[in-house]
Amino acid sequence: MKHFLSKIIPQSLKNQYHLMQAVIACVCFGFPAYDFAHRATSKIGKKMQVIGVTGTNGKTTTTHLIARILERAGKKVAVASTINFQIGEKKWVNASKFTTLSSWELQKFLQEALRTGCEYAVIETSSHALDQHRVWGISYAIAVMTNVTREHLDYHKTMSTYRFAKGRLFRSAKQAVVNLDMEDPDYFCVREAKQTLFYSTKDPNAHLFAEHIELDFKGTEFTVDEEHFHLHLPGLFNIENALASLGVARLLDIDFSLAGEALASVAGVPGRMELVPNEKKADIIIDYAVTPDAFEKLYASILPLKIPGTKIIHVFGACGERDRGKRPQMGEIASGYADIIILTNEDPYYEDAEQIIDDIESGVTKKKDRDYFRIFDRREAIRKALALAEIGDIVLITGKGAEEMMAIGDKRLPWNERQVIEEELEALR
């Protein structure tokens, strides 16, 4: 019944309800993240400062890199991201499957962070949360934009309304860090353009420009303003994420040498370009990639590292009740790069899971049962990929990342991608 009502009630009406809930939550929890002097000054004040990270891809990694930099600078930090929560030393898993919490849960979280002495809260902020007023009452000191590419058109309908929703964060923030390599980056400047820093891996005129870039599966290296940085995170897109975090460091006057130590200390982000050690001597990668752009960036990062004569095997599906138009695009992109594709189930919610796979399959150009397989059970699909993998092959398993459940109808079934991979590797020994 709840699912049915959600479908028939206009979103505009639901948004008014969300706004009312947000106002009540802020009043009940004492406006823990609202700066009442916000409109009188463009400077960052002394109360707990909120840093919002938004974008289609890269939000989670960027959020965690910013948090590590702040911690290395001696700050007590709270984090709310797609994969987990943190208040100081206390950390726990985000089991909600929401990037941004409900207004009530978020205000409660921020109140606890403030009560325990956190100086900064780094909040992964989704377009849905912005459109639904879930972050009403939060004064963002810094807004960070990673990129805007096709996603959530089931909700926003058009790219322009999607961008507008993302832009809400920047129309209220005091300072901003924006990816210069994305389409129309100036759209996300804060009111005072001088308070916006741009970063880039392509344009040397950016405030933060990465050069002398080196990539491999073990990580990346690059320089910014002659300062050398090392990441244990593979992929050019992770350099972009690191640049975003360095932009925040610069706005907060955190020395780049200190920021570099923080970045180098990050062993990895769960479910984001996560390598799984194995005796098959294949490169098995777990990644959250769920959009056409994320697929393109993922392949752009791994193709230069592919050993001649080896295979790329890609296991993926698509989330139910989301933008159907991206599904064939994902199938087409994978067909252009992977040697073997295995389509499988992935959070269908209330949608027909077979129809989801049909939608992806319409973009697949490979021959079925030779270099393309359709295996509904995700564990069996992973088992097939691992059985096909040989020394030096790259096995991509995307879509779930570090999530700990699978959504099928109204059920939430336990699921841990890495654990399943390790169990299937053990069974193949």
Q: What is the dihedral of CA 65, 196, 111, 403, to 10 degrees?
A: -40
Over pLDDT 70: what percentage of the chain? 93
Across the chain, mean pLDDT equals: 91
User: DSSP states of 373-426 as a string?
Assistant: EE-SSHHHHHHHHHHH--TT-EEEEES-TT--EEEETTEEEE--HHHHHHHHHH
Does the domain at 274-428 match CATH 3.30.450.20? Answer given as: no
Q: Is the pLDDT of residue 270 over 50?
A: yes
Whole-angstrom Cα Rg for the chain: 21
Residue 7 confidence class, pLDDT cut points 50, 70, 90: low
If we measure between CA atoms, which residue out of 209, 265, 201 comes closest to residue 233? Answer: 265
> pLDDT at position 100, please?
79
Q: Is the pLDDT of residue 13 over 70?
A: yes
> pLDDT at position 48, please?
92
Q: What's the predicted TM-score (pTM) here?
A: 0.88
Q: Are 263 and 231 in contact (CB under 8 A)?
A: yes
> pLDDT at position 284, please?
97
Q: Which distant-in-sequence residues (6+ apart) come within 8 Å of 3 by Cβ?
A: 350, 410
Q: Judging by DSSP bridges, how do beta strands 219-224 and 211-216 pair with one another?
A: antiparallel
Q: Indicate the range of 8-12, 70-74, 220-224, 332-336 predicted with least confidence.
A: 8-12
Q: What is the dihedral of CA 27, 33, 35, 39, to 10 degrees?
A: -90
Q: Is the pLDDT of residue 316 over 90?
A: yes
Q: Are 346 and 378 in contact (CB under 8 A)?
A: yes
User: DSSP states of 32-85 as a string?
Assistant: TT--TTGGG-SS--SSPEEEEEE-SSSHHHHHHHHHHHHHHTT--EEEE-SSEE
Cβ-count burial of 52 within 10 angstroms (0-12 exposed, 13-18 middle, 19+ buried)?
Answer: buried
Name the one residue in this structure whose structure tokens are 């809930």.
21
Name the one residue in this structure whose structure tokens are 């570090």.
402
Q: Are 24 and 121 in contact (CB under 8 A)?
A: no
Q: Is the pLDDT of residue 45 over 70?
A: no
Span(s) in the chain for CATH 3.40.1190.10: 8-265
184's torsion region: left (phi>0), alpha (psi -120 to 50) or beta?
Answer: left
Query: How far, in Å, CA of 220 to CA of 214, rounded?
Result: 6
> pLDDT at position 44, please?
44
Span(s) in the chain for CATH 3.90.190.20: 274-428
What digits encode the pLDDT tens for the residues 130-173?
Answer: 988 999 999 999 999 999 887 766 677 788 888 888 889 998 89
Whole-number Cα distances in Å, 109 to 116, 135, 170, 295 = 11, 12, 22, 33
What digits encode the pLDDT tens for the residues 81-91?
Answer: 998 999 999 99
Residue 94 confidence class, pLDDT cut points 50, 70, 90: confident
Q: Is the pLDDT of residue 26 over 90?
A: yes
Query: How far, in Å, CA of 402 to CA of 384, rounded?
Result: 21
Is 72 or 152 the better-scoring residue by pLDDT? 72
> pLDDT at position 363, please?
96
Instruction: Over range 244-254, report the average pLDDT.
Output: 98
Q: Which distant-in-sequence residues (6+ apart) come within 8 Å of 171 by Cβ?
A: 190, 191
How wide is the angle at C-alpha 405 spanned by C-alphas 124 and 118, nearest 5°? 30
In the CATH scheme, what is the code of domain 8-265? 3.40.1190.10
What digits encode the pLDDT tens for the residues 374-383?
Answer: 999 999 999 9
User: DSSP states of 220-247 as a string?
Assistant: EEEEETTEEEEES--SHHHHHHHHHHHH
Q: Which distant-in-sequence residues (6+ apart) come within 8 Å of 129 by Cβ?
A: 99, 100, 135
Q: Is the pLDDT of residue 235 over 70?
A: yes
Q: Is the pLDDT of residue 43 over 50?
A: no
Instruction: Over range 242-257, report the average pLDDT.
Output: 98
What digits encode the pLDDT tens for the residues 162-195?
Answer: 888 888 999 889 999 999 999 888 888 876 656 8
Q: How many CA atoms lie within 13 A of 36 on its CB side?
A: 4
> pLDDT at position 325, please?
92
Whole-number Cα distances in Å, 330 to 21, 138, 164 = 37, 36, 25
Q: Indicate the range of 95-104, 195-204, 232-241 predicted with least confidence.
A: 95-104
Q: Which two tokens stand for residue 147?
A: 């990129």
Burial of 329-339, coded b for 16+ CB within 10 Å and e otherwise, reads bbbbbbbebbe
Q: Is the pLDDT of residue 364 over 60?
A: yes
